[in-house]
Amino acid sequence: MQNREPSIEEKLHTWLEAQGYPLEMRVAKAFQIAGARVIQSEYYTDPSTEESREIDVVADWQTRIDNLLVRVSFVIECKSSKDKPWILFVSPNVRLAAPARVIVAAYRVCEAVAKQNGVNLEAQTPPEILEIVRDAGDLYR
């Protein structure tokens, strides 16, 4: 039996799966379902190097409260790695929140907006995220 060469479609699918694009698409879709305005592949100027860089997903909601325009924005860089560790480098004067706290805070904002729009966010949320949110109890409620 001969081994056949993978088709261009199969090669493309394999490459895309390895790049993390599916995660970026799922993140963007989750924010859209929750009612956010979503922009993918947004560019910004790096304040340290003045170079143009790409961010994967920007999601925001805005509303008026009295005469004040309020906007909540999430700027998201999607990373996926099953076999390599991640190291985060930050400026000396920057503190990072615990990842679970960030996830819970983001979920609570999405949950509130989804509820206003009649969307069942829980049905659209991966089980591992729901477990983190449930474990957090009333944090950020």
Distance CA 44, CA 46 (A): 6
Tell me the pLDDT band of 42, cut-offs 50, 70 and 90: very high
Query: Is 80 exceeded by the pLDDT of residue 54?
Result: yes
Q: What is the mean pLDDT of the chain?
A: 81
> Looking at the structure, do residues 74 and 95 belong to the same domain, yes or no?
no
Instruction: For residue range 66-105, list pLDDT tens digits in order.
Output: 888 888 888 988 876 667 766 666 677 766 666 667 777 7
Same domain, 23 and 39: yes
128 and 62 part of one domain: no
Residue at 32: amino acid letter: Q
Domain span holding position 33:
1-83
At residue 57, does pLDDT exceed 90? yes
Which residue type sits at 140?
Y
pLDDT digits (tens, 9 = 90+) for 97-135: 666 677 777 778 778 777 877 878 888 787 888 888 888
Choose among 57, 96, 103, 104: nearest CA to 78. 57
The answer on 133 and 104 residing in a single domain is yes
40 and 75 inside one domain: yes
CA distances from 95 to 10, 17, 107, 108, 117 (A): 42, 32, 21, 21, 34
- Decide which of 67, 83, 99 is a domain's last residue: 83
Same-domain check for residues 46 and 78: yes
Which residue, of 38, 65, 83, is where some domain finishes? Answer: 83
